[in-house]
C-alpha cells in the first residue's frame, strides 16, 4: 500500500493557525488556547476571538528524549513554553549544544526551522531557542 505524500508546503504556509500562531482568547474569562477552537477550554464559553500568540516566553517544563522516532537525531528536547501574555505552546528546542543548558524558567523565542524530511520533502515548523536576556 502506498503512503500518501506529506502535505504541500504551500498548504502549511497559508495555514494561519500554524505559521502565524493564531489561537483564541475567551472574551468572558480571558483564557488563551492554542490551537484554535470554538469553545473556551477554561469556562466553556462560546464568546471567543482569534488571538495572535507571541513568539517569546519561558520554559514551563521539558524533558530530554534519548530514543526519539527514527526521523530525529537524539537527543531531542520537547518543551512546554509559557508564552508572554498568556497561553502555552509545545515544541522542540534547537541550537542547544548540551541538554544541561536548558532550565525551567529560561527565556526562549520561536524560530522557524526544519523539523524533519519526510519522503524527500522538508517539513518546517517552529522550534524554540534560548533567548538572550
- Sheet harboring 48-52: ordered strands across? 32-33, 22-26, 48-52
C-alpha cell at 64: 530530554
d(CA 84, CA 57): 5
pLDDT value at residue 12: 59
pLDDT tens column, 52-85? 999 999 999 999 999 999 888 899 999 999 999 8
pLDDT at position 92, please? 95
Any idea which residue has 497561553 for its cell?
87
Q: How many CB atoms lie within 10 A of CB 56?
A: 15
| pLDDT of residue 112 exceeding 80 | yes
Segment 5-12 shows an average pLDDT of 59
pLDDT given at position 34: 85
For β-strands 56-62 and 107-118, DSSP reports them as: antiparallel
Cα–Cα distance, 97 to 108 (Å, whole number): 15
**Cβ-based neighbour number of residue 40 at 10 Å:** 21
Amino acid at each position: 500500500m502506498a503512503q500518501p505524500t506529506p502535505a504541500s508546503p504551500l498548504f502549511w504556509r497559508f495555514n494561519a493557525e500554524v505559521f502565524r500562531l493564531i489561537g483564541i482568547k475567551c472574551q468572558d474569562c480571558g483564557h488563551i488556547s492554542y490551537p484554535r477552537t470554538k469553545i473556551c477550554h477554561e469556562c466553556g464559553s462560546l464568546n471567543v476571538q482569534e488571538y495572535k500568540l507571541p513568539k517569546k516566553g519561558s520554559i514551563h517544563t521539558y524533558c530530554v528524549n534519548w530514543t526519539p522516532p527514527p526521523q530525529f537525531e537524539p537527543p531531542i528536547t520537547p518543551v512546554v513554553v509559557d508564552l508572554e501574555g498568556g497561553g502555552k505552546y509545545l515544541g522542540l528546542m534547537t541550537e542547544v549544544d548540551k541538554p544541561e543548558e536548558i532550565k525551567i524558567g529560561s527565556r526562549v523565542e520561536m524560530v522557524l526551522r526544519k523539523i524533519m524530511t519526510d519522503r524527500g520533502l522538508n517539513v518546517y515548523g517552529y522550534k524554540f531557542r534560548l533567548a538572550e536576556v
